[in-house]
Amino acid sequence: MVILITGITSGFGKAMAQRLAADGHIVYGTHRKDCQQLPGVHYIKAEATCQADVEAAVNSVLEAEGRIDVFINNAGMGIGGPLEFSSLEDCQRQMDVNFFGMVRFLKCIVPIMRKQGKGHIICLSSIGGLVGLPYQGMYSASKFAIEGYCEALRLEVRKFGINVTVIEPGDFSTSFTAQRKSVDNPEVHEAYPSYARSLASIEKDETNGLKPEFLAAKVSRIVRKKRPGYHYIISSFLQRLAVVARTVLPSRTFAWIMSLYYKL
């Protein structure tokens, strides 16, 4: 299969590109900055926030291969901090990369798959797209947006033979933790005393989380399925349990549990 993945410089993207290429697929991947390239993977320099870059990337794959069988939207970034202190510029950047970056690619990808009469769209969301995470509110908002968009898209394109799958990873040990842009000044910590200990807890969970190769192995199986699922939560048992708890517990009870877990 011909597979296009966004954001393959590191983390999930790199692990998926490596695994899918090893599986024998024709893999193309986008990247923003220069990086060490994996053998057997075709690299395309493109910024998800630039419409011209997105169109050029998709067209280059189509011109070379004549089709795109699987599209994996992976490119993303995160900002952390109390929502009150998150700048509008950072909030806009968060949505532009995580949500509108996906939208830009899908505006190009869906017509191709519709004309093919088949295709598989896989979008990486997060546990934070199912549960609002304190001090990661804008990140959660961007992932909730992906969930809603893909749910609607799935209904619209199913008659064209296009499958839409959303993957919700939990805590993973990747460079995402170090690259997160976090609000940090005395005023923030004075207003929100729980912020520092909560962020430390979050980063500890991520650092001790699953390896990206674990997710890549799951994706390897998902792309081979004739009838892939709508959702795959790839996380620890405790985090999967939290998602279930959110649907069955009273909202106030669940909020209390979350406050305890995140040391608020």
The domain limits of the chain are 2-261
pLDDT of 192 reads: 92
DSSP 3-state of 156: helix
Residue 172: DSSP 8-state: B
pLDDT of 232 reads: 96
User: Is the pLDDT reported for residue 96 higher than 80?
Assistant: yes
The tokens describing 2, both together, are 């011909």
Give the residues across from 165 on adjacent strands: 122
Q: How confident is the model at residue 230 (pLDDT cuts 50, 70, 90)?
A: very high
DSSP 3-state of 253: helix
Q: Helix 101-116 and helix 51-65: axis angle, to 10°?
A: 30
pLDDT of 145 reads: 97
Q: From edge to edge, which strands make up the β-sheet containing 2-5?
A: 41-45, 26-31, 2-5, 70-73, 119-124, 162-169, 231-234
Yes or no: say if 102 and 123 are a contact pair by the CB < 8 Å rule.
yes
User: Is the pLDDT reported for residue 211 higher than 80?
Assistant: yes
Q: How confident is the model at residue 181 (pLDDT cuts 50, 70, 90)?
A: confident
pLDDT of 35 reads: 78
pLDDT of 227 reads: 94
List residues with catalytic annotation: 139
Mean pLDDT score, 65-87: 93
pLDDT of 179 reads: 78
Mean pLDDT score, 66-81: 94
Mean pLDDT score, 150-170: 97
Mean pLDDT score, 65-79: 94
pLDDT of 72 reads: 98
Among 204-208, 211-215, 221-225, which stretch is predicted with the lowest mean pLDDT?
Answer: 204-208
CATH of domain 2-261: 3.40.50.720
pLDDT of 202 reads: 82
pLDDT of 212 reads: 93
Question: What span, in angstroms and rounded, lies between the C-alpha atoms of 254 and 130?
Answer: 13
What is the 3-state secondary structure of 50-70? CHHHHHHHHHHHHHHHCCCCE
Q: How confident is the model at residue 130 (pLDDT cuts 50, 70, 90)?
A: very high
CA dihedral 163, 168, 172, 176 (to 10 degrees): 80
DSSP 3-state of 22: helix
The tokens describing 210, both together, are 């699953």
The tokens describing 125, both together, are 């969301």
User: Is the pLDDT reported for residue 241 higher than 90?
Assistant: no
Q: pTM for the full model?
A: 0.92
User: Is the pLDDT reported for residue 213 higher than 90?
Assistant: yes
User: Is the pLDDT reported for residue 13 higher than 90?
Assistant: yes
Where do the DSSP E strands lie in the chain? 2-5, 26-31, 41-45, 70-73, 79-80, 119-124, 162-169, 181-182, 231-234
Question: What span, in angstroms and rounded, lies between the C-alpha atoms of 226 and 7?
Answer: 26
Largest CA distance in the chain: 57
The tokens describing 126, both together, are 């997060």
pLDDT of 153 reads: 98
